[in-house]
């Protein structure tokens, strides 16, 4: 699979798990992501590597971005209030952890004020966004359903059109220190205001003083020493992604060393590199069991007509309303566009799906 954007992930059954037969020739399927669409190409091996057919799914994700930012830091003018200055405090080296993925240092911050700012870019929300459109929980295990409710946000504000691709930028702010040394689960609910067909769930973590220098998120003397060895001053200020500037004041000095020492953890008490269960997405439109059943149903021979809606034969319409392939189960394509001649596909020997982000919405089951 080729991807122009590393953060854009299209999850499919692992290579070798299934064998696809296309027009009686065993072949291969190439997926190419250019950031705004997903292109499928079917190649015949028996035919000497001939391109047999292709089609494209154009996707517009309703959740355009999920970001954490260092509120009340040197990078937003040390302002605790939400506003345009917060865009300059976005942690560009951090990304949201999605259900089913394994946490890494890219998913948690070391900010001394904890998690006190999250940004969600919503494309074309259908109402006024309020606190009722979100849910927040905190915990430190791979079973988020067991986590406790997070402290309530201090404010939730919206800047229309200020987000990625012209999306509305929703800025969520907590009091500094309210969420620290733990994981935060953020859920954008499927409501009349968000317009989401299914809830969008993601995670950010925080462990003060951790430099991302090991296989765990433990904070120890190595982090303190690293801060001492990477000093930054007025003449050579730290960038926002400097892993040793724990208080995000633009400097690395004795204060950062003290922060690492004061927040030392053991393996038992450290932030865990969790793998949040997919089942935590309670509002998703299809469970894994339904996805598996739908996928197996598609292994039968089916005619594909270019005159049918979405390029699917009429007998398929009751089975499959649309196929969602995106970086998260709530990011569903706004439309499916395909151009292909009438052909017959058969996909035998499909293996059970265990960890997928392919969401089938069933029309008449």
Q: How far apart are CA 178 and CA 156, in angstroms?
A: 16
Q: How far apart are CA 204 and CA 175, in angstroms?
A: 16
- What value does the mean pLDDT take over residues 197-210? 96
What is the model's pLDDT at position 186?
98
Q: Binning pLDDT at 50, 70 and 90, where does residue 44 land?
A: confident
- What value does the mean pLDDT take over residues 227-237? 97
Per-residue pLDDT tens for 268-297?
999 999 999 886 544 333 333 333 344 344
Strands (E), the chain: 2-3, 21-22, 25-33, 37-44, 50-58, 63-68, 108-109, 117-122, 134-139, 148-149, 155-159, 168-173, 182-188, 200-206, 302-304, 322-325, 343-346, 358-361
Q: Binning pLDDT at 50, 70 and 90, where does residue 36 land?
A: low
Residue 306 makes CB contacts below 8 A (sequence gap 6+) with 338, 339, 340, 341, 342
Token pair of 212, please? Answer: 């991302």
Q: Binning pLDDT at 50, 70 and 90, where does residue 59 land?
A: low
Q: Binning pLDDT at 50, 70 and 90, where does residue 27 land?
A: low
pLDDT: is 363 or 258 the higher one? 258
What is the model's pLDDT at position 56?
75
- Tell me: pLDDT of 152 over 90: yes
Question: How far, in whole angstroms, is CA 174 from its chain's centroid?
Answer: 21
What is the model's pLDDT at position 334?
40
Choose among 36, 334, 296: nearest CA to 197. 334
Q: Is 361 helix (H, G, I), strand (E, B) or coil?
A: strand
HSE-CB at 148 with a 13 A cutoff on CA atoms is 6
What is the model's pLDDT at position 339?
33
Residue-averaged pLDDT of the chain: 76
Q: How far apart are CA 148 and CA 133, in angstroms?
A: 18
Range with the largest mean pLDDT of 47-61, 208-222, 322-336: 208-222
Q: How far apart are CA 216 and CA 105, in angstroms?
A: 9
HSE-CB at 107 with a 13 A cutoff on CA atoms is 25
């Amino acid at each position: 699979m080729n991807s122009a954007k590393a953060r854009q992930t299209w999850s499919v059954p692992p290579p070798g798990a299934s064998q696809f037969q296309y027009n009686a020739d065993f072949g291969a399927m190439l997926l190419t992501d250019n950031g705004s669409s997903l292109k499928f190409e079917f190649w015949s091996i028996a035919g000497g590597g001939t391109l047999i057919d292709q089609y494209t799914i154009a996707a517009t994700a309703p959740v355009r971005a999920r970001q954490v930012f260092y509120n009340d830091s040197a990078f937003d003018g040390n302002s605790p209030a939400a506003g345009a200055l917060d865009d300059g405090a976005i942690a560009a080296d951090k990304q949201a952890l999605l259900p089913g993925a394994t946490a890494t240092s890219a998913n948690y911050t070391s900010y001394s004020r904890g998690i006190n700012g999250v940004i969600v870019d919503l494309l074309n929300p259908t109402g006024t966004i309020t606190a009722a459109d979100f849910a927040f929980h905190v915990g430190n295990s791979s079973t988020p359903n067991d986590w406790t409710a997070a402290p309530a946000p201090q404010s939730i504000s919206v800047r229309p059109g200020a987000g990625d691709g012209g999306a509305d930028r929703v800025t969520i702010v907590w009091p500094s220190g309210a969420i620290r040394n733990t994981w935060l689960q953020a859920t954008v609910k499927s409501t009349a205001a968000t317009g989401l067909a299914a809830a969008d769930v993601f995670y950010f973590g925080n462990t003060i003083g951790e430099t991302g220098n090991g296989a765990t998120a433990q904070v120890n003397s190595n982090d303190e020493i690293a801060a001492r060895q990477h000093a930054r001053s007025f003449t050579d200020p730290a960038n926002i992604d400097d892993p040793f500037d724990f208080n995000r004041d633009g400097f690395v000095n004795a204060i950062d060393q003290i922060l690492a020492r004061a927040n030392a953890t053991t393996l038992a008490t450290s932030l865990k590199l969790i793998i949040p269960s997919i089942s935590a997405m309670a509002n998703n439109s299809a469970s894994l069991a339904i996805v598996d059943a739908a996928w197996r149903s598609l292994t039968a021979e089916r005619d594909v007509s270019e005159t049918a809606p979405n390029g699917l034969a009429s007998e398929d319409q009751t089975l499959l309303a649309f196929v969602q392939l995106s970086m998260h189960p709530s990011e569903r394509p706004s439309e499916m566009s395909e151009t292909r001649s009438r052909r017959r596909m058969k996909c035998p020997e499909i293996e059970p799906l265990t960890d997928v982000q392919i969401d089938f919405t069933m029309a008449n089951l």
